[in-house]
Structure formats: C-alpha cells, structure tokens
Amino acid sequence: MAMPRKPLAGPSANGSWRPLILEVAGPAGAGKSTLVRALVARDPRIRVVPLPPRVDLVPLYVRRAAELLPTYLLHYRGTRWFTRQEAKAMALVDAWQRRVDRRPSHDDGTLLFDQGPVFRLAVLSGFGPPITTSAVFTELLDRWRSSWADRLDVVAWLSAPDDVLLHRIRTRPQNHAVKGWLDGPALQRVGRYADAIERAIDELTSSSSILVLKFHTGVRSPDSIADELLASLREEPRLRG
C-alpha cells in the first residue's frame, strides 16, 4: 500500500516556510557533482550543504564509537574496526541532522546534499566491518533511517551502467580506489557501490514519504537532467508554486 507523503517545503502552521531537503545520490562516476553544479547555476535558492569541520565531527564519532565498543569487545574482537571513511560517515549522518534542524524558520530555498545521508548510510551498511551486522548497529541504522526519512524530501537518484561508471572514474582527475585495479575486480566493486546505493534508497523510502526521482546518466546530459528535475519539483502538487 502506498504510504501517505508528508508535505514538502511549504508553510508551517505558524506561516513560516521551511526549505526543501534534496539529496543527489548515486555511485562514483554517476555525475552527482556535475548535476549539482547545473542545479546551483539554474536556481540561486539552492544551497549545497557543506561538510562540517573536523572539530565538529570528532565528538560525534567518539560518541558512536563508545556506544559500539562494548559489543565489539564482546563479540567482534579481532575483526576490523571502522575505516576513516566509515567513521566520517557515522559522524556526518548525525552532524547533518543538526544542520537541517537549525535551518532558519523563514527559508523557502533548497538545501542540497551531494553524497549526503543516503550515500553515507550505503557506505556503512554495504561496506562496514563485521560489527555492522550486530543488533546494536542494526538498531542504530534503523534510527538513522527513521530520522532522515523525516527530514529528506527528495532524492535524485543517478545511475549508469557499471562499465560507464568505471570509465568515468578512470578518466577524471579525482582519486578513487579502483582506478588502478584490473577490469574484473574494479567492475565488481563499482557494482557493489551501485547496489548499496539502491538498497539504501529502498530501505530509507520503504515506509516514508520521500519522493525518489531516478535518472540514467549514461544516456542523459547533466543539463537535461537538471531541467527535468527542477521541472518535476515545480510540478509536484505538494510543493509551493
């Protein structure tokens, strides 16, 4: 049964406006950053949410590490702990919640995440250490999903064939772990990331009101996707006109 959707950006009971919360999600090479630039160029009300400073992230990670450490020592001692990227992901999904909740009460713009909570939850659930299969971490994931289901309004989901993603990763200047890998292992890794993103979106939206708009960047230009995305948001009847 279709879930009723919460109202998107619009006036609250006291007449104030709240911003639209949008994430551009997808695996490396899907064209997220290019689309973000195209969106920002088209609409000055769109503001990209920056990464918080490290000094803000460290206490949040330490808090989560302390919550998980007893389980690790009791049941997972000898297995690997969280990598730096995974530790950062845990801190970010908490820090960004605070950022969204501190938004101005009169704000009719759009807060846009590039590699936001969907991506970070995909990293944790798809590539995390063995402790991520524990009951305590599963409960933590469920709390994060529930909190972001209440905050995110729209996910623009970008996808492309694995070979296209790998070609883009190898030909762009940014570093990536699979750049020097053989084709077989690299394609497998790229496919795992794409699958993890899809699962994260499914899990986040299965019982929520988040609007998911999927775009295939293997056959679409960033400009055409940006135009269609903005048009879709303007046509959504629950959005302010």
Q: Which helix (H) or strand (E) holds 184?
A: helix 183-205
The yes-or-no verdict on residue 231 having pLDDT over 90 is yes
Q: Rounded to the nearest 10 degrees, how much is the dihedral formed by the CA atoms of 91, 93, 95, 98?
A: -150
Please give the pLDDT value at position 39.
97
Helices (H) and strands (E) in the chain, counts: 8, 5
Share of the chain above pLDDT 90, in %: 81
Rounded-to-integer distance, Cα 48 and Cα 69, Å: 34
pLDDT tens track for 120-166:
999 999 999 999 999 999 999 999 999 999 999 999 999 999 999 99
**Which residue would you say has higher pLDDT here, 234 or 172?**
172
Please give the pLDDT value at position 77.
97
pLDDT tens track for 76-114:
999 999 999 999 999 999 999 998 988 766 667 899 999
Number of Cβ within a 10 Å radius of residue 35? 25
Region 20-229: CATH code: 3.40.50.300
What mean pLDDT comes out for the span 18-32?
94
pTM: 0.89
